[in-house]
């Protein structure tokens, strides 16, 4: 009996120990993953962005300390996943978490899922944030922004790097097999559904189509409706509130304001737009829009997208200000209801007076596609987006 009791006690102690280990794994409050998809013409700007990050707040080492991971894919190099932490002497220590083959395509849902899984397995936490850095074209189908399929002139497209100011498409890899991008539906499918925030250091990602597609993946989105300059975000000051604030909404508000100040106070490149989106509110907005779109088919067909606030520096009008659009077609009572719903979605927004060649006269923080009959291929693609299925904009 004493022998049996001893075994029982020992077994209970083992179970308690395992339970404690499992619980302690959850004592890490936060893990933020930074995904640098830079196997493209932005590659040379990856290291300056990382240097900026490491000059700011970096969590200290510790078994259950907050974790800061960076996935780096530079042009011509093997992509790596690293964890960065400060040691007892205040020095930043770089630890290899995972390495991937030289033929890896980072603008690929399987690779995105793999990196996220590796990061979460190595550093599980109670709360997760994702910062995605690359080219970006919002909701457009893969490759469409670069080579339109609807009889458009390629000369309308401003290739990043061809003018004085480099800008940043979701993801882009350019290798021997061609140009690779992730479409927004696939991007959403590759993600887990428990992010506190997703921040896009990419162009044109603050659109209602993206927000609605990601509504179940994250609580908040930080993104720009215009392009984003290659200098990116003010990472040196940005990571401190993200890691150290207990209030995500407050921390992300600070991030928006810091981004605006960073651009507005830059004498050489004083341009930038940013918005903070509450994804829990986009369903309500879609219901309001569905009623308005259904009641105003003729007005929608008659409106000229070129008359609306544009956010992209070409002549195609794929990114129009959502508020400017709805204000032109809705009745007074409908527009009031829409405005209330939109204000719930866009928690915070900032814009400089101009973005390079674009005058910002009407800024809601969110863009939206306004149907144009000449884009038949694009319209067919748009009909399958979750936002369109919810609102019936295109039928």
Q: What angle do CA 180, 185, 187 make, to 5 degrees?
A: 55
Residues 6 or more apart from 374 whose CB is under 8 A from it? 150, 151
* C-alpha distance from residue 376 to each of 149, 152, 208, 387, 389 (Å): 9, 12, 21, 18, 17
Q: What stretches of 206-348 show up as alpha helix (H) in DSSP?
A: 208-213, 235-244, 248-264, 282-295, 297-302, 322-329, 332-345
For residues 24 and 64, what is the distance between their CA atoms, to the nearest angstrom? 7
For residues 222 and 276, what is the distance between their CA atoms, to the nearest angstrom? 5
CB burial of residue 2 (10 Å; 0-12, 13-18, 19+): exposed
Q: How confident is the model at residue 13 (pLDDT cuts 50, 70, 90)?
A: very low
Q: Which segment of 35-49, 52-66, 141-155, 354-368 scores lowest on mean pLDDT? A: 141-155
Q: Could you report the per-residue pLDDT of 94-103, keeping only the tens digit for each?
A: 999 999 988 8
**Domains assigned to the chain:** 25-280 (3.40.50.11970), 284-345+367-391 (no CATH)
Q: Which of 389, 390, 289, 391 is nearest to 334 (CA)?
A: 289
Q: Could you report the per-residue pLDDT of 234-291, keeping only the tens digit for each?
A: 999 999 999 999 999 999 999 999 999 999 999 999 999 999 999 999 999 999 999 9
Average pLDDT across the chain, whole number: 88
* C-alpha distance from residue 122 to each of 50, 81, 126 (Å): 21, 11, 13
């Amino acid at each position: 009996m004493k022998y049996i009791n001893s075994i029982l006690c020992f077994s209970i102690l083992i179970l308690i120990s395992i339970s404690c280990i499992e619980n302690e794994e959850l004592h890490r409050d936060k893990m933020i993953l930074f995904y640098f998809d830079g196997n493209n013409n932005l590659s040379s700007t990856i290291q300056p962005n990382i240097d900026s990050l490491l000059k700011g707040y970096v969590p200290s080492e510790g078994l259950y300390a907050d974790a800061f991971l960076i996935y780096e894919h530079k042009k011509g190099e093997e992509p790596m996943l690293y964890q960065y932490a400060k040691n007892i002497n205040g020095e930043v220590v770089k630890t290899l978490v995972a390495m991937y083959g030289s033929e890896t395509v980072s603008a690929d849902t399987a690779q995105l899922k793999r990196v996220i899984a590796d990061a979460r397995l190595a550093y599980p936490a109670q709360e997760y944030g994702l910062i995605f850095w690359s080219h970006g074209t919002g909701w457009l189908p893969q490759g469409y922004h670069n080579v339109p399929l609807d009889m458009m002139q390629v000369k309308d497209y401003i290739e990043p790097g061809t003018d004085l100011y480099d800008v940043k498409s979701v993801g882009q890899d350019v290798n021997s097999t061609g140009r690779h991008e992730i479409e927004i539906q696939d991007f959403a499918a590759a993600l887990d559904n428990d992010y506190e925030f997703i921040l896009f250091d990419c162009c044109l990602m603050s659109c209602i189509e993206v927000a609605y597609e990601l509504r179940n993946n994250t609580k908040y989105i930080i993104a720009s409706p215009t392009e984003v300059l290659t200098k990116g975000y003010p990472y040196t000051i940005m990571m401190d509130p993200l890691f150290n604030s207990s209030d995500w909404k407050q921390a992300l508000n600070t991030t928006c304001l810091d981004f605006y100040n960073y651009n507005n106070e830059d004498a050489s490149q004083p341009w930038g737009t940013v918005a903070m989106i509450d994804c829990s509110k986009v369903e309500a907005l879609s219901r309001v829009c569905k009623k308005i779109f259904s009641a105003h088919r003729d007005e929608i067909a008659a409106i000229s997208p070129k008359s609306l606030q544009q956010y992209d520096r070409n002549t195609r009008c794929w990114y129009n200000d959502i508020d400017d659009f709805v204000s032109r077609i809705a009745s007074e009572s409908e527009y009031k209801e829409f405005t209330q719903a939109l204000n719930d979605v866009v928690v915070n927004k900032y814009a400089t007076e101009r973005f390079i060649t674009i005058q910002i006269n009407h800024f809601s923080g969110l863009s939206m596609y306004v149907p144009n009959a000449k884009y038949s291929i694009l319209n067919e693609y748009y009909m399958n987006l979750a936002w369109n299925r919810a609102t019936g904009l295109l039928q």
